Each structure stands twice: as structure tokens, then as C-alpha cells.
Amino acid sequence: MCYLNYPWDSYLIDSPDPTLQPFPRLAWAVPVEVTTVGANLEAYSNIDQQITTLRLSHRFGSVALSTIPQEILEMIVDEAQRIERQQTLPFWKKTFACFQGLCTAVQHLEEEEEYVDEVWSELFTDQWDEEDNLNRDDYDTDERADMIEDFLNDSHDDMVWELHQEFRSNWLDLVCLCKKNRKVPEPHRSFSALNEILRSRFGLEIVILHEIMSSTMNDFLPRPNFRDDFSHYTSAFLTLASGTFSTYGVDQPKFRSSERIFAPERNHLAFRQAIDPSKLALSDGQRQRFARGMAALGLSPHYHLTELEKLISSPSNDELLWEICRTQLPGWPKVTSTSCDEKQKKIKQYLENMNKELSKQSWPQLQLLAASDAVSPSA
């Protein structure tokens, strides 16, 4: 599995520990949303056998299914995929929210109903006012959730914090590309397994890059009250499978995926590698791999949240960014009084607009990718 490297100048760490040196990789790539590609790949894997049986029956069978038009069959397949994706996506979204620090205290307790009831009883007892002559039934579901959220944030509940750490670790296990990873909660599958499907079916693979957001980014983003001291992010890129076209420093099959991203321990050498310009061209067949894989998995180019770092590093004239900003930044206009919920809607819309702009570009694009020091593979 992988582990987080906390900033050494934080109060958690007295001095820096050496981290593994990342190898750069020059590759044709498409940025994709990590929870979407993970959940959709998992859904694809879950019903792959059923879909294969359906297609074979349609092609070679002698039943009524064999007589339906191909277009109708594809609509049936698409609907089956859509339904399965609805089942797989929530876990990926929830776990990633914890990794980013975008979670709320109550979200950690969705499967702890008994404990939530205990918290509600304690909160209700503490806030009881006999003059109001109220009882628990006087609060609707939303009011109850808001009151519990405020209580948990104020009390720094230990159980919430432990679950938060567990979910964050689950995320690292889920997207870990190390083949030794075995800690993914059932029935989910890690990217180390899902990547095999991408390679065998489409000749593609996912590259995972973790990041720690800057303090400026933390101040900029509208967030719930509950959050970790450090905000993390995971970017995902769809690339040609290793060995097809890549410039990893190490590219032999005997190495784990993580060892093609990072140099071995105690490696203090600079990185260099000659590149044959003739190999930079992308063939029509390779372009078709991307088109076929993205269509089958319902993927589109995605504007990663951390791309905003370069837009907010200095005062911006973009009024939409002003409306999103949560905390006053040096040189920026005064922060608007819009609620956090409204600001979150605005940033969601902003990112959706950026996704639309990306979709107008030609993909894949030749990109140089390298891991940050946010996460390292375990020995």
C-alpha cells in the first residue's frame, strides 16, 4: 500500500524524512476524474460476464433477443452500465471526499446509527430548555443533521476522527497501483486490479498522481466546518499501456507499478533518458484505443481541481473566482458574503465550465507527468 508524506514543517513532524524520487513520464494522456474512472471501471468489471453473454446470445442465439436491432442492444447495455455505476460511485465519492478534506462529520457516521442516536440524545439533553416545551419530534431531519454536525465539530469527537483516518487510508488503498495492495474493502477493487482490465480490453492504463494543496488553495476553497489539517487531491490520467509508449525510468514487467513511478530507495542519481522523436507520433490505432475506452467507460476530459492553484497564486481579475473565494487573500477584492453552500455550487459550476472547454480540445495530448512527494509506496 501507499502512505502519506506530511509536510515536514508542520507541527506533526520535526524534521524531513527522505522521500522517493519520482520518475517523469512523457506520455499521450487524457486527464480524467478519478472517482468516475474508478467507479465506472468497477461497474464494467462487475457486469462484464453478463454483458458478454448478452452480446453472444444476440449474435449467435436463436431466441427473441437475437432479432432486436443492434442499436436497441446497445441501449440495453448502456442502461445496465448506468444502473451499475449508480451502485459503485457513492463509495468512491465518499472516500475521496475524506482524502480531500471535503467531508462533514456526519458523513463519517452514516453506518453508525446507534452512535448517532447516542449523540443526538446527549445533544438534546444538553440543549433542553423546559420553557420551550419542545421534544425530539419538533426537529426535522435536516435540523437534526445540522445540530449533530455542529455538536461533533465543537466536541472534536474521537470516533469521527478515527473513521476519517480510516476512510482516508481506504482511499490510498483504493487507488494504490502497487500489486501488493490487499486492503481494499469488499466488494470494491483497487486500481492495481482495474488497470489490468484497461490494459487487456483497451490497451490503456491509469496513472495516479497525489498532491497536497497549498495553504492559499485551502483558504480559497469553500469547505465544510470539518476538515483535516492538510487537504489532498488525486489526479488521474488515461494513458497508453506501459510498453506501448512511455518514458518511465524503469519499464520492465518484473517491477511493481509504483517502482516505475518512483526510483528505488537510496537512489540519488539525476534522471536522464534519450527519446527517439519518431516514437512521439500517435498512430490512428492508438487514438482509437482512447476513443473506444473513453466511450465504453463513459469518460471525458476533466479539469483537475489543483489546476486552480496557478489561477489563484496571484490576484485575479476573474470575478467568478472572487465569488468562490472563502477567505480574504492578499491583493484580492473583498470576499463576498455568499454562504458556503452557494460558493460550493459556484465552484462546481466553474469546474464544469472548465471541463466543457477541455472537451473542445483535441485529445489525447502529449504530456510530461511526474508524481509529487505527497505519497510514497511502502517498502
Which segments within 230-317 are labelled E, that is strand? 232-240
Q: Report which of residues 309 and 189 the model is more confident about.
A: 309
Spatial separation of the C-alpha atoms in residues 58 and 50, rounded to whole Å:
12
Q: What SS3 class is residue 355?
A: helix
pLDDT for 155 equals: 65
Mean pLDDT for 327-347 is 80
Spatial separation of the C-alpha atoms in residues 376 and 1, rounded to whole Å:
9
1 with 183: CB under 8 angstroms? yes
Report yes or no on 90 lying in a domain.
yes
33-47: pLDDT as tens digits: 999 999 999 999 999
Q: What percent of the chain has pLDDT over 70?
A: 78
- CB-count exposure of residue 220 (10 Å: 0-12, 13-18, 19+): buried
Mean pLDDT for 305-327 is 85
pLDDT for 154 equals: 65
Report yes or no on 147 lying in a domain.
no
165-192: pLDDT as tens digits: 888 888 988 888 876 555 677 778 888 8
The neighbour count for residue 284, using CB atoms within 10 Å, is 6
User: Which of 14-23, 320-329, 339-348 shows the lowest mean pLDDT across its residues?
Assistant: 14-23
Spatial separation of the C-alpha atoms in residues 237 and 290, rounded to whole Å:
11
Residues 6+ apart with CB under 8 A from 54: 65, 73, 76, 77
Full domain range(s) for residue 170: 2-10+19-105+157-264+282-377
Spatial separation of the C-alpha atoms in residues 354 and 321, rounded to whole Å:
13
Q: Find the helix packing angle between 34-46 and 158-175, rounded to 10°.
A: 70
Domain count within the chain: 1
Report yes or no on 124 lying in a domain.
no
Residue recorded with cell 455538536: 151
Q: What SS3 class is residue 188?
A: coil
Report yes or no on 100 lying in a domain.
yes
Cell of 138: 419538533
Report yes or no on 309 lying in a domain.
yes
Spatial separation of the C-alpha atoms in residues 166 and 244, rounded to whole Å:
37
Mean pLDDT for 272-277 is 79
Report yes or no on 136 lying in a domain.
no
**What values do phi and psi take at 211, rounded to 5?**
-140, 155
187-215: pLDDT as tens digits: 788 888 899 999 999 999 999 999 988 88
* Res. 341 pLDDT band, cuts 50 70 90: confident
Q: Report which of residues 124 and 41 the model is more confident about.
A: 41
Report yes or no on 339 lying in a domain.
yes
